Amino acid sequence: MADSYGDVFLLRFGTRNAVVVSSLSAAEECFTKNDVVFANRSQSLAGKHLNYNHKTIGFSNYNDHWRSLRRLTSLELLSATRLSTFTGIRHEEIKLTVKQLLEEHNSSNYELSHNYTKWTRVKLRPKIVDLVFNIMMKMIAGKRYYGNEVVAEEAKQFQSIIREASELLGSANINDFLPFLQWIDFQGVEKRMIKCMKKMDSFFQSLVDEHKKIITARAETGANDDERNVTFIELILSLQKPNPEAYDDETIKGLILAMLFAGTDTTILTIEWAMSLLLNHPNAMHNAWAEIEGNVGHDRLLNESDLPNLHYLQSVINETFRLFPSIPIIPRESSDDCTVSGFFIPKGTMMFVNTWTIQRDEKLWENATSFLPERFGEHGAQGINKLLMFGGGRRICPGALSARRVVSLALGSLIQTFEWKRIGAEVVDLAEEGGLHMLKVEPLEALCKPQLTMLHTLNQL
């Protein structure tokens, strides 16, 4: 539509006005000069029923409550210092994923005496989902809910809730644009949201209550926390005692919800898209592997301290973000009248930054539709200021550092430990689903076998 109507154009969604921004200069204007004006989020059924009546950090308007949540997430929960305390969790979960891939390969080739030259077919999306959710839930609550060995009823309940909530959060809802339909719940969505939220709230409350008991028990016994990871829930509960109104249970549950969904979607989607692109570009896959081999070797697994030296890997990730942004449309709402690129935007207008179009703009990127990690230069950062990877302005995603670490470590580890190729001669289908997230239509499947140089290290896992 940007090709037909220009970089900034107005749409009518039912009873709502919406402006679509499809150029980098106009987007930068929204995120700088008009940053405060566009710091609000539109009211929606998902915000009301699945986000504690718009009180989570992702759905709250720009106000004192949002600023308090932002300070907490940026300075306490997702700071570089705090994330470093969870390094061991990320390494351990990735090691378990690699070990599971090896066991599946050995199992499928058992009659061939673990023939490491044979290829094994792997469904990658479930592996990535398990990995990312386990990392996030171990940081939030110290629990693992995914994987072949996890069979507890609590885990099944969690997985069911997350599946339904993800579906409801990721789909467009006509009732948001035609409010009169809410009286009859035209699609039955509102009823599903209320039912799902009741289950999700109850589950999160049980996690909070469990942690309150743990804290009380540790205080009574004088246990020392120095040698264990303090979970996000425990950290927020420590702030609740001196300031119960600011950090009540609903606020804690809202933070759990926000970190779970915002902290997993981008990571899962980016890893799957990156592997899809690398499978279609085996030379790039080889370049990434050669860089890891040269900097890390094959006597140990890749770790986070290696990442600053892996410039080509970072270029692959940047190019994946560019071509397949996990959030192709960044939604905001104007809290006052303003102008964007000379166009008058009235108060209460929904604003969508069309990230997908901007990051494929031929005026900004040479061969814009091609996968070319080399475009980011020798150190993997050339032109990175033209990317809108995690939004922009004061509402830029506070989980960017966490997502980047997990994507880099997971993708690098998969490349280091296994050889990968497409299942057949045809390229991997890169078709995208519609909706609010850049989901791949066909879940990724590929063939893999252990890197022969890594066999000794892999067999020690």
Which residues are known binding-site members?
A: 397
CA 244 to chain centre: 30
310 near 416, Cβ under 8 Å? no
The span from the CA of 44 to the CA of 193, in Å, is: 12
The two three-digit tokens of residue 120, written as one number? 């094994």
Compute the CA torsion angle 434, 435, 436, 437 (nearest 10 deg).
-50
314's torsion region: left (phi>0), alpha (psi -120 to 50) or beta?
Answer: alpha
CB count in 10 Å sphere of residue 262: 22
Angle, helix 189-221 to helix 153-169, in steps of 10 degrees: 140
263 near 403, Cβ under 8 Å? yes
Q: What share of the chain is helix, strand, coil (3-state, %, to 5)?
A: 55, 10, 35
The span from the CA of 60 to the CA of 371, in Å, is: 36
The span from the CA of 301 to the CA of 296, in Å, is: 8
Q: Please enumerate in sequence order all residues whose Cβ is within 8 A of that of 12, keeping only pairs 6 or more positions apart, or say none.
A: 18
* Residue whose tokens read 């090896």: 102
The span from the CA of 147 to the CA of 96, in Å, is: 9
Phi first, then psi: what are they for 116, rounded to 5°?
A: -75, -5
What residues form the annotated binding site for heme?
A: 397
In a 3-state reduction of DSSP, which class is residue 310? coil
* Residue whose tokens read 């005692």: 241
249 near 118, Cβ under 8 Å? no
HSE-up of 120 (CA within 13 Å, CB side)?
23
